[in-house]
Amino acid sequence: MIAGIDREADINIFFQENDLENLSQGNQISGFLIREYRLENLGNIKTSIDNQRQNLNGFGISIDDKNYWGIDSGFSLDVFIGEEFFRNLLQNKQTGCRQSIRDGSKIHLYADPHSFDYQTGVDYLEFCRDLILRQNNIPPKTPPCDGV
C-alpha cells in the first residue's frame, strides 16, 4: 500500500492484492504516506476495516489524523474503512467519499493495478518516495516508515 495527500488534503490510497486479502482477514496494514506538496519527509498510513470507527470524521471511511500534523518524518494517518465501503472496493476496484471536516477533502481507495489511474498514481508516489529516501540517504526498499 502506498498513499499520497495533496494540497487540498485529498488522500489517494493504492492497495495491492495482498493488502486486500490481509484487510479481509481483519488485519491492519501499513504503508508509505507521501505529502505530495512537501517532498521532504515520509510518513506512515495504517488502514483497517472497522465499522465502529468508520464514521469517526467521515461517512463510511474515516481518518484519525492526530499524529499527522508534525513536519518531521514519522507523521501518520489511521484510516478506518466500513465493511460496506470495503465490499464496494472489492467489487468496483475503487471507492471513495468526502470527509466531514470543514475543508471537504476526499479520500479515494484504488485496487485495480490495470487501470490507468492506479498505475499513474502508484508510479508517481513511488517516484516521490524514492526521491525522499535518496534526499535523506535512506536505502530504497526500506520497510514502512515506523522508524524513519
Give CA separation, 117 vs 30, 79, 89, in Å.
21, 21, 15
Residues 6+ apart with CB under 8 A from 60: 54, 81, 82, 84, 85, 97
Lookup: cell for 118: 492506479
Give domain status of residue 143, yes or no: no
For 52, counting Cβ atoms within 10 Å of its Cβ (0-12 exposed, 13-18 middle, 19+ buried), the class is: exposed
pLDDT band for position 102 (50/70/90)?
low
From the list 136, 139, 124, 134, the residue with the least C-alpha distance to 2 is: 124
Give domain status of residue 140, yes or no: no
Give domain status of residue 145, yes or no: no
Give domain status of residue 43, yes or no: yes
* Structural domain containing residue 34: 2-135
Q: Is pLDDT at 104 greater than 90 in this prediction?
A: no
Give domain status of residue 14, yes or no: yes
Give domain status of residue 45, yes or no: yes
pLDDT band for position 142 (50/70/90)?
very low
| Number of domain units in the chain | 1
What is the model's pLDDT at position 128?
93
Give domain status of residue 147, yes or no: no
